């Protein structure tokens, strides 16, 4: 298919057309011409949108759907449509399905479901068999089938020797190991941040120490073994400090935080809305300030929606009994743009590709068109009407957003809202 983007402002510091408003001609998935004005031909679809801006395609490093096993929460095909309309051209999909994606056949299934789609799906294989934390899964076989990393979603690795072996083994094929940062014995039966708010509400708390202790252990192991370690969804001030120091030492460590952990504090819990029951828990303003500083100085490599659809039966219950998780694909761009501004938002939404070894496509003639389309202007409030997902468990309903995503052009296809 051929597309002509009219009057598109380019946001891509690596592109010679950065901050310029140009026409962009795309033929058979490749950018063939960029100029001030290009005339549309009969075999070309013209794309003309209000205040159109484009950037390299966005990547979300932490996404869950449901299929196989929990299709009532979200199917793969519908989830990919949600991601594309939210501006993402690539996602990393977690293995927390039923059955757990812990072998090459399950990775192949996930890849096949996304075949010939506009958005690229990159599976994360389980680090351990059935994500039980006992025996390593078939890491190399899964990588050969298309897995880009290995981790047990929201499950900490209790046995330090298991993580040591994983880091050593994965070096044989340049594998990336994920380790969820929570020391479960310290966290105990806690469900929210352990602070003044948890005491006032009578909810059992998870101290920041639970995250920080696990990160400290994992960084010691990484220093011993070498290899590549990704620490997903950090949430405390001390965690930022620990990773900052590790990077200064030259350790190959990366990390992410979530959109909701940099915009919402545990003050939200006063409503007992189960959409605010998330892992890691919402922390304090002090933690948010430290996370934002870590984003600004590059300590935090990427921000994820940590999109986790959850059906109503698991959310419309007592707070103690509700499942963890919030959706976030639809609200990520607008929330980040409101908080960080457009240049930093685009940077942070594309930066994670290098960590997960996904090829970047600069906006220039001759390169593959892998583009996110958006309007960075216009302030509004995120409402349930903005939710595209099958599940509606969003922690960001009622929060301010700025701008809107139009969709994507990728894999020689276009998806628009």
Q: 393 φ, ψ to 5°?
A: -80, 75
Yes or no: say if 345 and 336 are a contact pair by the CB < 8 Å rule.
Answer: yes
Return the SS3 of 333.
Answer: helix
Q: How far apart are CA 94 and CA 110, in angstroms?
A: 10
Whole-number Å distance between alpha carbons of 82 and 7: 26
DSSP states along 254-319: EEEEETGGGT--GGGGGG--GGG--SSPP--HHHHHHHHHHHHHTSS-EEE--B----GGGTSS-G
Radius of gyration of the chain (CA): 21
CB atoms within 10 A of CB 78: 17
From the candidates 23, 287, 301, 306, give the one annotated as an active-site residue. 306
Instruction: For residue 193, give the nearest of 130, 134, 264 by alpha carbon.
Output: 264
Give the DSSP letter string of 151-205: --TT-----HHHHHHHHHHHGGGT-EEE-----HHHHTT--EE-SHHHHHHT--E
306 is catalytic: yes
Residue with tokens 């020797």: 161
Q: Give backbone dihedrals phi and psi of 164, rounded to 5 degrees, phi first.
A: -60, -50
The 8-class DSSP code of residue 384 comes to G
- Judge whether 259 and 331 are in contact, CB under 8 Å: yes
Contact 183, 210 (CB under 8 A): yes
Pairwise CA distance, residues 195 & 11, whole Å: 41
As annotated, the active-site residues are 306
């Amino acid at each position: 298919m051929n597309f002509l983007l009219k009057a598109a402002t380019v946001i891509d510091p690596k592109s010679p057309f950065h901050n310029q408003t140009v026409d962009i001609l795309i033929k058979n998935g490749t950018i063939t011409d960029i100029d001030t004005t290009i005339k549309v031909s009969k075999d070309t679809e013209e794309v003309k949108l209000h205040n159109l801006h484009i950037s390299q395609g966005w990547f979300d490093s932490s996404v869950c759907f449901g299929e196989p096993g929990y299709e009532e929460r979200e199917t793969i095909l519908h989830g990919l449509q949600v991601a594309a309309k939210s501006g993402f051209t690539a996602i990393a999909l977690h293995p927390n399905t039923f059955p757990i994606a812990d072998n090459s056949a399950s990775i192949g299934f996930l890849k096949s479901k996304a075949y010939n789609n506009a958005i690229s799906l990159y599976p994360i294989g389980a680090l351990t068999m059935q994500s039980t934390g006992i025996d390593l899964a078939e890491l190399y076989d899964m990588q050969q089938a298309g897995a880009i990393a290995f981790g047990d979603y929201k499950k900490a690795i209790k046995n330090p020797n298991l993580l040591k072996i994983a880091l050593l083994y994965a070096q044989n094929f340049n594998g990336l190991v994920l380790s969820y940062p929570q020391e479960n014995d310290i966290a105990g039966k806690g469900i929210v941040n352990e602070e003044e708010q948890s005491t006032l509400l009578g909810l059992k708390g998870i101290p920041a120490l639970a995250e920080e202790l696990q990160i400290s252990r994992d960084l010691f192991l990484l220093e011993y073994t070498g290899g590549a370690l990704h620490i997903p969804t950090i949430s405390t001030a001390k965690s930022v400090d620990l990773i900052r120091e590790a990077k200064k030492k030259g350790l190959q460590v990366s990390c992410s935080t979530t959109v909701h952990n940099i915009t919402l504090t545990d003050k939200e819990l006063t409503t007992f809305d189960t959409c605010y029951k998330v892992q890691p828990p919402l922390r304090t303003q002090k933690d948010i300030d430290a996370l934002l500083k870590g984003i600004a100085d590059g300590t935090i490599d990427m921000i994820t929606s940590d999109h986790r659809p959850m059906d109503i039966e698991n959310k419309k219950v007592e707070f103690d009994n509700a499942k963890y998780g919030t959706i976030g694909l639809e609200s990520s761009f607008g929330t980040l743009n409101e908080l960080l501004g457009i240049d930093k938002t685009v940077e942070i939404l594309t930066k994670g590709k290098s960590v997960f070894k996904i090829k970047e496509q600069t906006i220039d003639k001759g390169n593959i068109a892998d583009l996110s389309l958006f309007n960075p202007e216009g302030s509004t409030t995120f409402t349930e009407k903005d939710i595209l997902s099958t599940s509606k468990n969003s922690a960001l309903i009622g929060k301010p957003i700025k701008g809107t995503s139009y969709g994507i052009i990728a894999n020689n296809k276009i998806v628009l809202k």
